Copies of this chain bind each other. A is one copy, B any other.
Amino acid sequence: MNTVTKTHIQVRYAETDQMGIAHHSCYAVWFEQARTEMIREAGIRYRDLEKMGLLLPLTGLDCRYKIPALYEDDLIIETSVVKLTAARISFGYRVLRDGTEIAAGQTDHAFVGADFKPLNIKKHFPQVFKTLCGFLTEDSQ
């Protein structure tokens, strides 16, 4: 399995602001889209995880903006799993335009149940855990 997923995003008009660039809050939405696609590639639909009672709320978000993204820009988000335990997962993202990194970020998540209480994914969803392990980049293992 490939440990890096590439997601195509095209900047929407509604995502621009009056500076004429993509608003910084949109990157978090793109990252979300990218990790959704990553786990879908492994045959898991995030909406099915939620129905099974597994939620991944964010506990942290970090983003560095180097070069602004513009309306109609075709961007590639490269996503990888940079950390994984039975209680938590972190995804890393690189935003590329024409091969140049214009931004990079990370999101941290806790595994919780429908009641928002911590949940040991290794114990309660061993198959999902195994799949996510497959995404771990070598230098994180």
User: Which A positions have Cβ atoms within 8 angstroms of B?
Assistant: 10, 12-14, 16-21, 23-26, 28-29, 32-33, 36, 45-47, 50, 55, 57-66, 68, 70-72, 116
Contact = CB atoms under 8 A, between A and B. Distances in A.
Counting every copy of the chain, the complex holds 4
B57 A19 contact: yes
A47 B70 contact: yes
| Best-buried of A18, A36, A55, A59 by chain B (most CB within 10 Å) | A18
B68 A64 contact: no
A18 B50 contact: yes
Nearest to A24: B58
B14 A32 contact: yes
Nearest to A61: B63
